[in-house]
Amino acid sequence: MNPNDRHRVYLSFQDRNGWQCQFLEADLKTPLPRKLHFTSPDKIIEIVERGGGLRDQESRLMLQQGISMGRGGVFLNLTEVAVRETQSVPLRYTAAL
């Protein structure tokens, strides 16, 4: 597989005493093991930007709306390396900003 090929995954997030993030396969049913926990929504925005989830102004506004509501999700287009990281053994990561 070409390392530049992209794999579509869904990032679901919600604010529960910090931001909890979970990755799902594109079918929206199959969870990937890696879960992330952040103290600030800024890290969610960073992940979405790096994952190609902000295609236009509308997608940026939808992400902001989800953050302001305390829950949401967005499709990302990840490299094979990034997908392998989401499929690795779950790791609890807390980023303090």
Please write the tens of the pLDDT for every residue from 32-91: 999 999 999 999 999 999 999 999 999 999 999 999 999 999 999 988 878 888 877 555
Question: Is 11's pLDDT higher than 80?
Answer: yes
Please report the pLDDT score of residue 82 as a whole number. Answer: 81
Domain positions in the chain are 6-95
Question: Is 96's pLDDT higher than 60?
Answer: no
- CA dist 56 and 32 (Å) reads 26
Region of 17 on the Ramachandran plot (φ > 0 left; ψ -120 to 50 alpha; else beta)? left
Please report the pLDDT score of residue 81 as a whole number. Answer: 79
* CA angle (59, 50, 20) in 5-degree steps: 75
Please report the pLDDT score of residue 93 as a whole number. Answer: 47
Please report the pLDDT score of residue 56 as a whole number. Answer: 94
| Cβ-proximal residues to 85 (8 Å cutoff; 6+ apart), any chain | 34
